[in-house]
Structure 1
Amino acid sequence: MRKQLLTFLALFCFASFAVAQEKKPITWQDIPTWKYMQSNSFQVSPDGKWIAYGNVALEADGEVILQNISDPSAEKKSFPIGSTNFPSISFSDDGKWIAFKEYPTFAESKANKASKGKPLRDKLTLIELGTDEKTTFENVISFSFNGKAASHLAINLAKDGNGDGKGSDLLIHHLKTGKSQNMGNVSEFRFNKSGSHLAYVVDAANKSGNGLYLLNLTNNSTQILDSDKASYKSINWTEKGDAFAALKMVEDKKYKQDHGQVIGVKNLNNPQVTIYDALKDNIGFDQAYTISGSRRPMWSEDLTRLFYGIHPLTLTKKDDKKELDKDSVKMAEANAMEKIMADTSIKSIADLQKAIAKLNSGQEKKEANTDKPDMTIWHWNDSKLQSRQQVTANQDKNYSFWAMYNVASAKHTALQDSSMKDLSILPKHRYALGSDAQAYELDINLDGQQYSDFYIVDLLTGEKTTLFTKFYIPSYSSSPRPSTDGTKLMYGKDGHYFVYDIASKSTKNITENLPVTFVDVEDDHNVEKPMVGALGWSSDDKYVLLRDGWDIWQVPLNGKSSSINLTQDGRAKKIRYQYRFGLDPEEKGIDLTKPVYVRTYGEWNKKSGISLLSPAKKGGLSSGAKSLIWEDANVGGLRKAENADVFFFSKETFNMPTEIYMTDASLSSPKQVTENTPDAEKYLWSDGTQLVDYVTDKGDSLQGALFLPANYVEGKKYPTIVYYYEKLSQTRHNWANPGFSGTGWNPTVYTSNGYAVFIPDIVYKLDDPGMSAVWAVLPAVKAAIATGVVDENNIGIHGHSWGGYQTSFLITQTNMFKAAAAGAPLTNMISMYDLIYWNSGGGNMSIFEASQGRFSGAPWENWDSYERNSPVYHVKKVNTPLLMLHNDKDGAVDFTQGIEYYSALRRLKKPVILMQYKGENHGLSKLENRKDYSVRMMEFFNHHLKGHAAPDWLEKGIDNLKLDEHLEKRGF
């Protein structure tokens, strides 16, 4: 009996343990405390021996993970950092120290917000690597190690008090001694590259002691470079760190802007200070202008010239005091006294005072009403819509033109003016490239076709010469791009790439004799011959590396050697050699004497990896790419430790979170060094993915990615959500971290909860953006049904913005779908054409004619196309229950688009629900709103596709007076 009892207890305990360990679908309520690696937080010490990264959560405290990866026996260390989504972590350049910020905990922040307390302050933790020595600093705003020297840590402390000075305490912590010195009232500081010097600005109350200072960290000596009752700002070191420029701003109450001066400092051990005061240069400087405080100044590479911005001065407005008509004043006073004397309600001094105040108030109001009106004039000749001008008002107001000061000749030269709006100073600072589209701006804003004039500016003389007039830019890739020495420009025109030599003014077509086209033939927008983006210039400027959409070509500029197809097999094997990994952050161009790592992608199998291009013996690269990694995964993010041959790359799949792997230059035998999503083992995830091939009704061969539900059983059919946005099948291996998106959509959460997810590609035909979705999506879904995974009786569709448009249109053309959710959809292409994209202030018409809309003209030139592709004109055919998300402050797709469709469906008594989150834009930003809609959208699909009972809001709606109570019950 005892033996049987023990056996029973053992089985019971095992069963209980199994139940406890049983995985479950992840719920929306699990996500606020779900921890994940914030990808941008991953840091590598320059010697490649240490890594650190932050694991964070939406509504819980995070941690910094620190590990010595050079020692296999070393344990990971974890340090609490409070609540943040963006950890701040930094290694010193010598790999001996790490510093990271610690934030208030989630509980502290929540309590402080509820009590409306003073802002909580961050802390800073400093650790000497390889030891347990830890130093904590309180009240920290920002921090920085001193570059290559790695001898000091600067810590900017939060400002105490309400003085008018902008500066606060700056701690300079000596890493070796552990001692700190405090410098007060510092508003800005910058180390040079070597870390030998710190330039800083003092900004104190009443401007006492304000100035520009230089601290020599090798001997701890400080020099005052300039001091005045002025504001100093915009410290900008040269790339070498041998000089810096800054601004000095002096207040003048006659003008709205301060008068600017530019300061140049070089010869750091015995500083040579140049100050150019434009106000004193009556001959060379137009006194209607001043040096701008909104553009950071800079030295030329040879330290002979200073570059800075200038902008017009604006006089301070003075109140025009009109002479008073004394007789009118006396008459008004007499009338007022009569009214007061006749007022029988005045029975005390207090009543009299109220009556007088009332009269005065009325008079003031009358005077206020005579002020200028608050209005806007929209003129048909405006090159930019008034709404666009309003959006860019501050930018335009603070816009500055580049100018130059020659130190030796003490001469100022304006490099641009209002006739040339944009100017880019080219590498090596010999030339600048100017551009101006003002002559074409009206037409650009109407039809979306981009044109610009281009100019070359000589940075020795300031002379401007015309390069191109009305240059067509079908895509960014056609724009001129400088060589690494700034003496040549590469640009795309008429389907070819050209190189222009600035000094000789000669032009050469570098692709005319190649057997492939560099036009992006897959771009289906209404533009002419857009180019495939180039990889760039070689570091010696002898070659350019171009992409033809599949392979990479090395094209010489000397005309003597031949162009080489470096990758060779891309087009044949349908492998796209997409982009190069830049492993040296200080590189200038592509060094062809070193191996070049390239990201690869399989167009039809969705594999990805990294290939290597090797240097040739006679210069350039040898032909043929060596595949180093090629997997059914999303591989990328290749990086290298700054001072060691230690390499890292990222890898993920749809059901495996992103992890970082360590390896060597061969990328062989990689070792996982991160632990993303530490709670992942508790939950169910998708069982994998399948590719679905299909042919559209117009004959295009496309693919869709089918994501299997968790616990998938072959032969069983599953409720399915179809999601789309142009082409997305390339996301087959992308991990979607469980979270609350601005659209309510998260494929990982849906597959965890038993849904299959299907994401088909859509290609577009001109003048038929809606019908293109029908021609692509319906055959795609039929092909997905044929896999046996998709339950054809329980399919839902969802998309947001342009995808929302596809959803709202699809349900007018088919009854294939049992439920649909559309976020911020375009529903009336005719009315939408003439509306405004409020986020930018521009008009929609250019988007319709040359961008995503894909129409060949305006509605009045093509009524049939616009009507044929507008959901609202086919609303009578809708039989699919629709959940719409559209917010009243949507600055991309006007709220009226959602209202039009909702009202039309409601008029026809079609099942539609519109979710409006007050004050939200094109997507949801507030966490409470993102939570709410994510839950509601899944409840909507659960009801229609899984047969779950409908919650009250879905079944019968919620009365406005009961809404608060309803929302309080649902909050989490």
Structure 2
Amino acid sequence: MGIRKFGLLVILLLYYTISLASHQRDSISIDTRWNQWLISSISSKGDWVSVYLNYPNNRSQSKGFALHIETKKRIEITGISQHQFTAIDFLIGRRAAETVELDLKTQKEISLGKLKQQDWIEAMQTLYFINENNQLVLRKYEKKGAKEILKLEKIASYSMNPSKNQLLYQKEGETVLYHLDLKTLKEKRLLDLKESFSGATWSFSEDVISSILENKNIVLIDLSKGSFKTIELPKEERSISNVWSSFFSNNDLFISYQVLNAVEKDPIKDYLDIWNGNDRELKYKTSGAGWGESGVYPPKMEGETKAVVYQSSKEELIVLPQDAKKKYLNIGVPNYLLVYDPLELQDYSETFEKVRYRLFQIDTAKEIGDLITAINFESYYRKSPDNRYILYPKNDIWEIYDFETGKRMSFLNTDTFNFPIWSSDSRFIYYHNYENLLQYDVTTQKTRKITNLKGKNRFSIVNSIREGNSVYVDVNKPTLFYIDQPNNKTSYYSFFKGKLTNIVDTTSNRLNTSYLNRGVSDDGQTLVWTEENYNQPPTVKVFRKGKVTTLLEAAVPKELYNWRKQKVIHYKDKYGVDLTGVLWYPKDFNHSIKYPMVTYIYERQNAIGSYFEIPKVFDTKGFNRTVLNEQGYFVFQPDTYVSEEGAGLSALECVTKGIETITALEPAIDKTKLGLMGHSFGGYETSFILSQSKLFATGVSGAGAHDLISFNYEYNYMLKMPNWFRVEGPQQDLRDSFGDNSTKYYKNSPIHFAQNFETPVLLWTGMKDDNSNWEQTRHMYIALKRYQKPVIALFYKREGHSFNNKKEQLDLTYRVLDWFDYYLKGETNKEWIAKGIDYNNY
């Protein structure tokens, strides 16, 4: 392909000299003008936004800009990363190893040097850092400009509180710990630690800290009083390790630690790893059966975990009841802990084991009943900002426990993947019921609707605040939320002081939320996002002063995409389940010509209908629909789901119905030149469909499971557990064990139908894949080879489940294109394919 005379450069990917067996594919020309706008961050006042014009196929062209929202003044900031706007129009960021300061008014840039530590304090408009000369510098940004308001010499390091208004530090060569009040700039000597400061755990009110000393004792420092107390752990004959502390909201301290027992090296471990049938701790097994680099286990350290509570008001240490199976979880509520046995209910049927959490009252040293039996509770529970309540999922409800009254409240749980959010005053909980956004009042225990919509809708609050397990919205600012509505319709709303405001009307465009949390001003009055569709490159939009305007138009020349066309179809399978398929048309489409079609599958894909995709040859799974469109292919992406029949048979039904529907609607599809492709679960689906159907002329199956029986009985080193939970549950969803319904496993395993294959298939996998073991691909290859079926398998030595290396990404993309060109376009000059599938030519 030629280079355009008007200066357009074409990427000739020849610098990757990759041998494709004995044949090397011609490079694909990708126009260097393909680009997309990405939002990076917004200033706290909402007057500046940083955006990047990203060129995925030639990163050297990419540029960054600081853009003033009102004037649209654009200042290039290419090369500056991790940046922060100040309130007086400065930008602070990193250029290579140095921190730089850019005056956005004068565009003058200065270097602050290679800083050893740095923090930006928004509330004080101050940059705190330790420079190359070990000086602690406070640089404040005021109306007159930037100036240093404090400089302390010979500072080794500092630690800052979560609210960023206090510093703790030591000076070079000293062990004295100092405290600096960042509001008053008053320095105070706290105490001589006699050792280096290891860091601090801050109390809820941030007026007390705890720090673990080298001798494993804990020093508790009251910053307001300038006093300290050393907490000595109970005397132990054995060594203490892994000391950890956390505060309750009343400044009591929870401390856990491990008492170790050095066990003599077991000579059996040099050559044997024993997996017991009653082992509940398989999650501690690692790849290679836990062997070190030398092939020998290191001496194992064993011990028991113990816990104590230090009551600050009484200055007493309470030793908590302990046994080998008992662990404690501090949720910050005074006088209460949760106690649990992490392995009590372990049966490997879930990604995370079920755990029974019981309430433990510290002052009585007694358990007072079960709170919840849950999966992954430590990640799922949500504490109210005032520490009075905790909220957690319990089957089909969200339950609230009130620690003041000991009572429980609840409301319906319709979506366990979208967590309710507290209000900052701890009175309300915001959640949705798949139709409307709702507000639950914990005082009245009544629910009100915030929106009044119909149909199945999903909601996402975009300016929530997270502090540990407390996630809430500020009641003094607008709450902004995104709605994903049926048929890929989207919209934005604002809710403030009981008033609902529509920011963006319902649209079929994709409102990109990927960077949205970086695009909301502190006061919630300014919102920046990108808007796109399959035939509309991303534009940057802004909501400010009550109206929406376009901040940046798309920068992609129209001739690169104005040919794009899609068809969205809706159909039903034999069970009456609603399905959607999206057909993408080839470039320069001509109704009078027949075109081959590649179908790509992976569960439900209808949301991709509004994505603006840029052609790229570097892809983690070797698939880019726009590259295929530009190479003269239809691309079809139909939904699949799992029915009672099983994942394979269900995929066969969904895809067959989709192909029948779309080929009836679009006569330009050549029904004799259909290809099928999928990765991971889609790779499994692809293999199964090809084992049952004659619809397709060829297929490409990547990193999939091919034998559900052996896959079911594999140990998954990525998830650290047996695979049967995923086969019976999440994806394959066979719902029964193999012992209870072996027929279902056989009927849904493509490897058991290898002898029936009539379709040439390209298999590929990464040999470092711990998610879907690469041996699954080799087994499928061996099965197909046994029956002399046309198959080639690609085993990439350096890659895992998805590809990260450019060389392998490019190689896979080219081989997939070669494969489809060979079987769907009749381009049989691909020597690596012709030789690899000819059983008469060994």
User: Normalising by the residue count of structure 2, what TM-score does the alignment of the two structures yield?
Assistant: 0.83
Aligned residues of 2:466 and 2:472 also touching (Cα < 8 A): no
| Counterpart among 478, 492, 495 of residue 610 in structure 1 | 492
Query: Partner letter of residue 214 of structure 1?
Result: H
Aligned to 1:549: 434
Aligned partner letter, 1:629: D
| Partners of 1:495 and 1:519 within 8 A in 2 | yes
1:761 CA displacement: 1.1
Partner of 1:12: none
CA distance in 2, matches of 1:450, 1:478: 13
Please report how far the alpha carbon of residue 47 of structure 1 lies from its aligned counterpart in structure 2 after TM superposition: 1.9
| Correspondence 1:667-686 to 2 at 5 A | 668-673=547-552, 683-684=560-561
Per the TM alignment, residue 729 of structure 1 is displaced from its structure 2 partner at its CA by: 0.8
Residue among 100, 106, 116 paired with 2:93? 100
> Could you tell me how far apart the structure 1 residues matched to 2:739 and 2:161 are?
60
Distance 2:622 2:361 in 1: 53
- What residue is the counterpart of 2:648 in the other structure? 770
SS at match of 2:661: helix
Q: How does 1:152-551 map to 2 (within 5 A)?
A: 152-155=127-130, 169=134, 172=137, 174-175=139-140, 176-177=146-147, 186=156, 189-192=158-161, 195-200=164-169, 209-210=174-175, 212-216=177-181, 223-228=188-193, 230-237=195-202, 242-248=207-213, 250=214, 259-267=215-223, 271-278=226-233, 281-282=234-235, 288=238, 290=240, 292=242, 295=244, 297-302=245-250, 304-315=251-262, 373-385=270-282, 388=285, 403-413=308-318, 423-426=328-331, 431-441=336-346, 443=347, 445-446=348-349, 451-458=354-361, 463-468=366-371, 471=373, 481-493=382-394, 495-511=396-412, 518-519=413-414, 533-551=418-436
- CA contact 1:836–1:894 (8 Å) conserved in 2: no
Q: Does 1:908 align with 2:809?
A: no
8 Å CA contact 1:36, 1:55 repeated in 2: yes
The Cα of 1:140 is off from its aligned counterpart by 4.9
Write the deviation string for residues 695-715 of structure 1: whole angstroms up to 9, x where unpaired. Answer: 113221211122333344556
Could you give the per-residue CA deviations for residues 822-875 of structure 1, whole angstroms, max 9, x where no partner exists? 111111111111111121221011222232221232223212111111101111
Query: Given the alignment of the two structures, is residue 744 of structure 1 paired with residue 691 of structure 2, yes or no?
Result: no
Q: Which residue identity lines up with residue 490 of structure 2 in the other structure? A: S
Secondary structure of 2:796 counterpart: coil
Quickly say closer, same or farther: Cα 1:498–1:198, change in 2 above 3 A.
Answer: closer
The 8 Å contact of residues 149 and 194 in structure 1, kept in 2 or not, is answered as no
Distance 1:892 1:504, change over 3 A: same
Is the 2:305–2:324 Cα contact (8 Å) retained in structure 1? no
Q: Aligned equivalents of 1:311 and 1:935: distance in 2?
A: 54
Q: Find out whether 1:730 has 2:607 as its counterpart.
A: yes
**Contact preservation (8 Å) 1:478, 1:491:** no
2:686 aligned residue: 807
Report Cα offsets for 1:446-469 as digits up to 9, x if no partner: 577953211224467765433247
Assess if the C-alpha contact under 8 Å between 1:274 and 1:407 holds in 2.
Answer: no
SS of aligned partner of 2:771: coil
Does the CA-based 8 Å contact 1:722-1:757 persist in structure 2?
yes
| Whole-angstrom distance in 2 between the partners of 1:436 and 1:384 | 13
| C-alpha contact 2:434 2:456 (8 A) present in aligned 1 | no
Show the counterpart of 2:83. Answer: 89
Structural mapping, 1:529-608, within 5 Å: 533-557=418-442, 562-570=446-454, 574-582=455-463, 589-590=472-473, 595-603=478-486, 605-608=487-490
| Cα distance change, pair 233–449 in 1 and its aligned pair in 2 (3 A) | closer
Q: State the 1:882 CA deviation.
A: 1.1
Q: 1:417 to 1:58 in 2, by over 3 A?
A: farther
Q: What displacement does 1:809 show? A: 0.4
Alignment deviations for residues 565-607 of structure 1 (CA, whole Å, 9 cap, x no partner): 433322xxx240422222556796345676543322232x212
Paired position in structure 1 for 2:143: none
After TM superposition, list the pairs within 5 Å mapping 1:656-695 onto structure 2.
Answer: 656-664=536-544, 666=546, 668-673=547-552, 683-684=560-561, 687-695=564-572
Quick one: which amino acid aligns to residue 664 of structure 1?
R
Aligned residue for 1:861, secondary structure, equals coil
CA contact (8 A) 1:795 1:818 kept: yes
Q: Secondary structure at the match of 2:654?
A: helix
Q: Which secondary structure does the structure 2 equivalent of 1:669 belong to?
A: strand
Q: How many residues align?
A: 802
2: CA distance, partners of 1:564 / 1:763: 34
Can you list the C-alpha shifts for 1:917-960, whole angstroms capped at 9, x where unaligned? 1142222222322222122222222332233344332232599x
Aligned mates of 2:57, 2:507 — CA distance in 1: 32
Query: What residue in structure 2 maps to residue 74 of structure 1?
Result: 73
Partners of 1:141 and 1:928 lie apart in 2 by: 36
Contact 1:532–1:549 (CA<8 Å) still a contact in 2?
no
Unaligned stretches of 5+ in structure 1?
A: 1-15, 82-86, 104-121, 158-167, 251-258, 320-368, 512-517, 521-530, 617-621, 960-972
Displacement of 1:645 in angstroms is 2.5
Structural mapping, 1:635-654, within 5 Å: 635-637=511-513, 638=516, 639-643=519-523, 645-654=525-534
Distance 2:766 2:267 in 1: 37
Letter of the aligned partner of 1:886 in structure 2? T
CA shift, 1:371, in A, is: 8.7
- CA 185–191 in structure 1, closer or farther in 2 if over 3 Å, else same: closer
CA separation in 2, counterparts of 1:183 and 1:913? 67
1:191 Cα deviation from its structure 2 partner: 3.2
Instruction: State the Cα deviation string for residues 146-196 of structure 1 (Å, max 9, x = none).
Output: 442223331566xxxxxxxxxx9465363533699586573x533346654
Q: Distance in 1 between matches of 2:239 and 2:314?
A: 21
Task: Report the AA paired with residue 91 of structure 1.
Answer: F
How far apart, CA to CA, are the structure 2 residues paired with 1:505 and 1:606?
Answer: 44
Whole-angstrom CA distance in 2 between matches of 1:830 and 1:936: 30
- The corresponding residue for 1:630 is 506
Alignment check: 8 A CA contact 2:43 2:85 kept? yes
Q: Using the alignment, how far apart are the partners of 1:182 and 1:388 within structure 2?
A: 49
**TM-score, normalised by the number of residues in structure 1:** 0.73
Residue number among 674, 687, 712 corresponding to 1:833 in the alignment: 712
Percent of residue pairs bearing the same amino acid type: 19
Structure 2 distance, partners of 1:133, 1:478, is 46
CA distance in 2, matches of 1:946, 1:758: 17
More strand by percentage: 2
Moved more, 843-852 or 129-138: 129-138
- The one of 765, 774, 794 equivalent to 1:895 is 774
> 2:692 is paired with a residue of what secondary structure?
coil
Would you say the 8 A contact 2:383–2:471 is kept in 1?
Answer: no
Identify, as 1 or 2, the structure richer in helix: 1
Distance 1:899 1:584, change over 3 A: closer
What is the match of residue 701 of structure 1?
578
The 2-side partners of 1:218 and 1:506 are apart by 42
Aligned-partner Cα distance in 1 for 2:626–2:309: 55
Larger mean Cα displacement after TM superposition, 449-458 or 170-179: 170-179
Q: 1:774 deviation in Å?
A: 0.6
Indicate the residue corresponding to 2:64 in structure 1: 65
C-alpha deviation, 1:426, in angstroms: 3.2
- Whole-angstrom CA distance in 1 between matches of 2:98 and 2:622: 35
Q: 1:460 to 1:760 in 2, by over 3 A?
A: farther
Return the offset for 1:784.
1.9
- The root-mean-square deviation of aligned C-alpha atoms, in Å, is 4.2
Partners of 1:498 and 1:923 in 2: how far apart? 39
